[in-house]
Amino acid sequence: GAVVSQHPSWVICKSGTSVKIECRSLDFQATTMFWYRQFPKQSLMLMATSNEGSKATYEQGVEKDKFLINHASLTLSTLTVTSAHPEDSSFYICSALKEPEQYFGPGTRLTVT
Amino acid sequence: AQRVTQPEKLLSVFKGAPVELKCNYSYSGSPELFWYVQYSRQRLQLLLRHISRESIKGFTADLNKGETSFHLKKPFAQEEDSAMYYCALSVTGGGNKLTFGTGTQLKVEL
């Protein structure tokens, strides 16, 4: 199989604080992981590509200093939302690449109050 | 830049009726097309990809380059097909990045 987990599944934080979301490939190694954002009843929007051992590649319009990505091992990528604001509230989904397919995590619901 | 369009937000059909979920794309090169499905309270999962030309759970999809379409079809809808369906595209040399359509909610009624 190819299972991807995310932690936490939901988180509430206060405006101005930072929150870290973990994405793990449980039974395979992934040199490449992806982070998506999904607004209510809308599609998944790719935020960035996370590459193990190197800097993440961000999509146009995504603030790299706000959404910090670290891919320190072959099974773990983290997304840190820094100085969160209410407009950052969303559903964040990661996927891990096991060629030729992306396997998706269950998502993390972030609410910033 | 590439784009994926799914014109229907919601498609409601009766059990046993044929289903067609529309997907059109815009990309000047040769894309790879996918259909992903998300059942209620479950994660996104791959349903099929055009390269493999498989039939999964009775669903098929043919890439029509002339019409730039990749419609998903099933001859007889089942209640368990009710889910959110996303069409997605990746491009050669694009690092496996996916561009998703806005999704179509399929509701199969008894």
Q: Distance of CA A17 to CAs A12, A41, A55, A113, B40, Å? A: 10, 27, 23, 10, 32
pLDDT digits (tens, 9 = 90+) for A3-36: 999 999 999 999 999 999 999 999 999 999 999 9
A37 band by pLDDT with thresholds 50, 70 and 90: very high
Nearest CB neighbour to A101, from listed B9, B46, B103 = B46
Q: Which pLDDT score, from 0 to 100, does residue A14 have?
A: 96
Question: Does B69 score more than 90 pLDDT?
Answer: yes
Over pLDDT 70: what percentage of chain B?
Answer: 100
**N residues, chain B:** 110
Q: Are strands A19-25 and B19-21 parallel, antiparallel or unpaired?
A: unpaired
Phi/psi of residue B80, nearest 5 degrees: -75, -5
Nearest CB neighbour to A32, from listed B9, B96, B100 = B96
From the centroid of its chain, how far is CA B57? 13
pLDDT digits (tens, 9 = 90+) for A52-105: 888 999 999 999 999 999 998 999 999 999 999 999 999 999 999 998 889 999
Question: Does B24 score more than 90 pLDDT?
Answer: yes
Q: Which pLDDT score, from 0 to 100, does residue A59 have?
A: 94
Question: Does A41 score more than 80 pLDDT?
Answer: no
A1 band by pLDDT with thresholds 50, 70 and 90: confident
Q: Does B93 touch chain A (CB under 8 A)?
A: no
CB contact under 8 A, B95 and A57: yes
Q: Which pLDDT score, from 0 to 100, does residue A44 have?
A: 92
pLDDT digits (tens, 9 = 90+) for B70-110: 999 999 999 999 999 999 999 877 888 999 999 999 999 99
Contacts B86 to A, Cβ<8 Å? 43-44
B89 with B31: CB under 8 angstroms?
yes
Q: Distance of CA A13 to CAs A34, A86, A90, A106, B69, Å? A: 23, 9, 12, 20, 42
Question: Does B1 score more than 90 pLDDT?
Answer: no
B44 band by pLDDT with thresholds 50, 70 and 90: very high
Q: Which pLDDT score, from 0 to 100, does residue A34 have?
A: 97
Query: What is the C-alpha separation between B49 and A32, in angstroms, rounded?
Result: 20
Nearest CB neighbour to B95, from listed A49, A100, A107 = A49
From the centroid of its chain, how far is CA A73? 15
CA of B33: which chain A residue's CA is closest?
Answer: A101
Contacts B9 to A, Cβ<8 Å? 41
Amino acid found at A91: F
